Structure 1
Amino acid sequence: MGELLDNMSSKLGLPALDVSLAFPQATPASVFPPPASDYYQFDDLLNPEEKAVRRKVREVMEKEIAPIMSKYWEKAEFPFQAIPKLSSLGVAGGTIKGYGCPGLSCLGSAIAAAEVARVDASCSTFILVHSSLAMLTIGLCGSEDQKQKYLPSLAQLETVGCWALTEPDYGSDASSLRTTATRVDGGWVLDGQKRWIGNSTFADILIVFARNTSTNQINGFIVKKGAPGLSVTKIENKIGLRIVQNGDILLNKVFVPDEDKLSGVTCFQDTSKVLAVSRVMVAWQPIGISMGVYDMCHRYLRERKQFGAPLAAFQINQEKLVRMLGNIQAMLLVGWRLCKLYESGKMTPGHASLGKAWNSQKARETVSLGRELLGGNGILADFLVAKAFCDLEPIFSYEGTYDINCLVTGREITGIASFKPAILGKSRL
């Protein structure tokens, strides 16, 4: 019996085979598939600068990031050695002009977000939190001194930012947040708690929103890493965006000097200026994820054989692949039009919300079809689809859940707000 247990123990200790050896019929996502989803030649709608952004981001993501993502996703760890590669993309700061930022068009910034998400949704979320939330808040609502002080290093990813709005009791109803800011000599004291804050476990600066105890309005503050009274703990056991380090933030009498109060945030509506732009960017994440899944399935179905024929030869598989492709063409055009509306000054909150809600819903269908097409390999992160399937779930919910975004658009087209439940009264029954 002892000898048997020893043999079993030694066998249990063997490492898993490399997926290329264990399943040589199909190439894993560490060697990323070529792009195959631009069926309606969307690329023709881009200007030379936007095409150059797409090419650069695609090349870096495929060659430098794709080979390592599965390992870090499995460990739920952030690949800090990838930050210089992500910095080399030159997209942090997005549409912000000056201060070392790229000053991209809205469409150029959105395409960059999609191309990063095509290879890895977690990296895309990391950049969007840093760039389209933290940096954009400083760019839109900060003083000139704050822009000069913080944006250049953030643009180079020498420092990292996060954006702290959501609280344990207030997600979709974030305007009701309870974190407080109390005026004291020379600054402000923040007390409260934030939850689900991406990048927060290692961010150098935290954009924190709190309720001014004097005015009862929402104000914004720049809190520095290591500030006395600030503590951040990692949220464990996520099934999606596992590489992103979401945290619980505790603020216990954290002092913020006057120079780090964002003068452009005087009420909750000021956060909406940032959310409107970031919601456009988030609407492009499902596009990128869907493109990556389609590209993977397109290659896999031609490589993998059953009954002597490639899986691509089977009718049902072709129908699913075409349905995925159709979704992507429609999502691309919605995203493109959304950017054009923003650039022309015509975009409304309802436009942004509909784009995010509809694209994330169509992406959900697309990645589900991809998971079906890969069969058993559809639950292995090595072939991208399982990872993308899980990563899309938090994206479906953040930056406004599907339902809340639908209600934002619903309010705009009907003129009737339906967010809060009716006050319960006595039943007439």
Structure 2
Amino acid sequence: MPGALDTAIDAAAGPGGPFHPAIGALLDAREEFPAEACAVLDGCGTARAYVPAELGGAPGGLPELVAVLRTVARRDVTVAVAHGKTFLGSVPTWVAGTDEQRRALARRVLAGAVVCWGLTEPGHGSDLLAGELTAEPADGGWRLDGAKWPINNATRGDLISVLARTAPEGGPRGFSQLLVDKHALAPGSWSPLPKEPTHGIRGADISGIRFTGAAAPADALTGRPGDGLDIVLRSLQLTRTMCTSLSLGAGEHALRLAHDFAAGRAMYGTTLLRLPLARRVLGRAAASLALADAASLLAARAAHHLPGEMSVVSAAVKAGVPEIVQLAVDDLAELLGARGFLTEHHAHGAFQKLERDHRIVAIFDGSTAVNRASLINQFPVLARLHHMGTYDAESLAATVAAQPVPPIDAGALRLFSRTGCSVVQALPAAAERLGALAAAGAVPRRAAELAAALAAEVAAVADAMAALRPAGRNTPPEAFETARRYERALRKRAPPTCCSPTPATSRGSPRSRPRWNGPWNSSDRATRHPRRRTNRCWRRSRNRRRS
């Protein structure tokens, strides 16, 4: 699907087309919804990527969805956000709905229905347990009262998945999830809240909805009464992983704009692209994107093979990928100079638009701090299992193998991982194996040295996690820094250059040959190491994209 979609977007990117940068800039200035661009995606059957394959959706699972929305985001993040929200609104039903509910929603989505997700409320932010919107039993169904805000596509959406308080006392078991069809509600029982002006994604429908005695049928309930928070937290493990596609697309767009500018900018008798500093900035950004790409793909595949560990993996990539991409975009902005801030120069101001658009990704579906707090809550298990040296070798091998993914087992998603994070916990065995291969001359010695250094860093992080004690709301700042170090370890472990564990029962048995597909020394922008950011990294990343 991404290839056909890319071709269609190319055709729509000509002068006057909905994906032409001038049109995107015009809609952005007017804060106008990109309806024609979304229609192009509709015509390509993009909605199939939002539906599980077993329900008639596109094959390929979460990795395919990430690739699809990344293809859109590399042209316009606003369009990807506006159209991709249907997946987010549908996930609670995919995770906890009955077979009939899942089939019914699949038919609606495939027919073009727009679905949104109403979680947050005015004055409460990410504190979902403070939600005041209520759903009370009435006349064999549910009566909804209250507001959700700010919600993407709250006004334009046909259906809204709502987290509602169903027990007056609230608490973890006091909320339920309902899927509400706005078209089936009585006139006057709901009203849209005004679209909010935003710094980025200006054309997106960021608004809200208010219910006033809205009557929903009994089968609007998703899962059991009181399961709402559980459903939300498990669903977020998939939507947070999907959000990385927005960062990857924005980063690729920024890199392309910066490269094109540098190639055409005449300076000092040559072009900016030929100056060492410019090559260093471009290579650094390309290496960062390659690292983010590997982490995103690994997380998307882990949802299918390691669903029980997604509470760790999704939080780590959602906190880490937007951060590393934003840092790369910031570097590229300096390379463009004033052209990175002007709205009517160099591709119609596309760079300043994507830079504004991307900043919201770090907030979507839980901010960076929220995701790091989720990791902190799992520190005791992560530290203990790392010190024990245990991991799911068979499932990890399937995760990194270039094979089709099975359907996601939503029932295996857990609020807290019982097996930690196999990706990170397998690192000492992988480093040991690389050391043996290097001694035999089968791999470069530098690869083994870098693997050993990363294994030592992970061991230090595990020690730091073990030393921290649960502190509830008074979590110390150093815990968040430890979570950040853990994210970096997972990102560095993600590139397929690290030999993955075999599915053999013997924990350390090596493969017959290692897998070498990318640079172990890709620079992690967040670590602030300036060396090795060369033009070679840029060429390698560009060649991968072309292939």
Please tell me the residue identity of whatever aligns with 2:85. Answer: V
Instruction: After superposition, give the CA deviation of every residue in 1:43-83 in whole Å (9 maximum; x if it has no partner).
Output: xxxxxxxxxx3322322233325313222122111122233
1:260 aligns with: 220
Distance 1:389 1:91, change over 3 A: same
DSSP-derived class of the 2:210 partner: strand
The amino acid across from 1:244 in the alignment is A
Cα 1:324/1:339, change in 2 over 3 Å: same
For residue 295 of structure 1, give the secondary structure of its aligned residue in structure 2: helix
Give the equivalent residue in structure 2 for 1:290. 251
Aligned with residue 107 of structure 1, among 63, 78, 88: 63
Q: Is the 8 A contact 1:128 1:278 kept in 2?
A: no
2:31 paired residue among 69, 76, 88: 76
Q: Are 1:351 and 2:305 counterparts? A: no
Aligned-CA RMSD value: 2.1
Distance in 2 between residues matched to 1:218 and 1:117, nearest whole Å: 34
- Residue 160, structure 1, aligned to residue 160, structure 2: no
Moved more, 390-399 or 304-313: 304-313
Distance 1:187 1:153 in 2: 21
Match of 1:420 among 454, 466, 473: 473
How far did residue 106 of structure 1 move? 1.8
1:402 aligns with 2:368: yes
Superposition map of 1:114-153 within 5 A: 114-131=70-87, 133-153=88-108
- Report which stretch shifted further, 362-371 or 217-226: 217-226
Give 1:179's aligned residue. 133
Following TM superposition, where does structure 1 have runs of at least 4 consecutive aligned residues deviating by more than 6 angstroms?
A: none
Q: Secondary structure at the match of 2:164?
A: strand
Query: 1:98 Cα deviation (Å)?
Result: 4.0
TM-score (norm 1): 0.80
Deviations 1:172-216 (A, max 9, x none): 222332211111112111111211200111111111110103684
Q: Could you say which structure has the greater relative contact order, defined with CA pairs below 8 angstroms and 6 or more residues apart?
A: 1
Q: 1:239 to 1:337 in 2, by over 3 A?
A: same
What secondary structure is seen at the aligned counterpart in 2 of 1:162? strand
CA gap of 1:417–1:268, structure 2 versus 1, over 3 A, is farther
1:4-403 map, 5 Å: 53-64=1-12, 65-67=18-20, 68-92=23-47, 93-94=49-50, 96-131=52-87, 133-157=88-112, 159-213=113-167, 216=170, 217-225=174-182, 227=185, 228-263=188-223, 266-346=227-307, 347-381=309-343, 382-403=348-369
CA–CA distance in 1 between the matches of 2:311 and 2:362?
A: 18
Structure-2 separation of matches of 1:142 and 1:247: 26
CA distance in 2 between counterparts of 1:418 and 1:81 reads 50
The 8 Å contact of residues 110 and 281 in structure 1, kept in 2 or not, is answered as: yes
What's the CA shift for 1:119?
A: 0.9
CA distance in 1 between partners of 2:162 and 2:33 (Å):
22
Alpha-carbon distance, 1:110 to partner: 1.1
Deviations 1:204-236 (A, max 9, x none): 111111010368421112222353321112333
- Assess if the C-alpha contact under 8 Å between 2:177 and 2:231 holds in 1: no
Q: TM-score when scaled to structure 2?
A: 0.64
8 Å contact from structure 1 (residues 193, 249) kept in 2:
yes
> In terms of mean alpha carbon deviation, does 89-98 or 66-75 score higher?
89-98
Contact 1:264/1:270 (CA < 8 Å) preserved in 2?
Answer: no
Name the CA distance, whole Å, in 2 between partners of 1:418 and 1:293: 40
Counterpart CA distance in 2 for 1:100 and 1:233 is 34
Residues 329-382 of structure 1, C-alpha deviations (whole Å, 9 max, x = no match) = 110111121122212124321210110111111111111122222222211352
Q: Which runs of 5+ in 2 are unaligned?
A: 13-17, 382-468, 476-547
In structure 1, the residue matched to 2:451 is: none
Is the contact between residue 94 and residue 103 of structure 1 (CA under 8 Å) also seen in structure 2? no
What is the identity, as a one-letter code, of the residue corresponding to 2:249? G
Letter of the 1:251 partner, please give it: F
Q: 1:150 to 1:140 in 2, by over 3 A?
A: same
Identity %: 20
Q: Give, in whole Å, the separation in 2 of the partners of 1:89 and 1:288.
A: 18
Q: What residue identity is the alignment partner of 1:66?
A: F
1:312-331 alpha-carbon deviations (Å, 9 max, x no partner): 12222222111111110110
Q: CA deviation at 1:418?
A: 4.9
Q: Equivalents in 2 of 1:95, 1:204: separation in Å?
A: 16
What is the CA distance between 1:419 and its match in structure 2? 5.5
CA contact (8 A) 2:51 2:109 kept: no
1:130 Cα deviation after fit: 0.7
Q: How many residues align?
A: 368
Cα distance in 1, alignment partners of residues 237 and 278 from structure 2: 38
Displacement, 1:254?
1.4
Letter in 2 for 1:258: A
Deviates more, 1:73-82 or 1:294-303: 73-82
Q: Is the 8 A contact 2:124 2:131 kept in 1?
A: yes
Q: 2:245·2:296 contact (CA, 8 Å) conserved in 1?
A: yes
Segment of structure 1 superposing worse, 91-100 or 303-312 = 91-100
